[in-house]
Amino acid sequence: MLAHWYEEVSSTFLKLRTCAESGDWRLAFLTAANLQRSLRVDAGVPLEVELPGSYVADDLWSMVDASADLALAIEVMLERAGRPPRRFESADQLRAAG
């Protein structure tokens, strides 16, 4: 279940980076809160990192760094479970994977 969840929301981690690049602090905070809720409720994973707690309006990169740490921890969990995240270099590869 975690592998499927991660594939579905992996773009949300990238969305946080985009928010930091554009300085969109409102969307960054909402995205982090939704990501954290989804991880707890939908994926059932306890968190050591509180993404909204790492929010600093004038330094969104601290939240991006916290989300990158979280993504890495999830990827390690998946690899240990024998379900490494699938990576696609193009839309064609994604379509071919079905």
CA terminus-to-terminus distance, the chain: 17
- Tokens 């990576």 locate to 87
pLDDT in tens, 32-91: 999 988 888 888 877 666 787 888 888 999 999 999 988 898 889 889 989 888 777 777
pTM score, two decimals? 0.79
Q: Would you tell me how many other CB atoms lie within 10 Å of the CB of residue 89?
A: 7
Q: What is the domain partition of the chain in residue ranges?
A: 2-97
Helix (H, G, I), strand (E, B) or coil at 22: helix
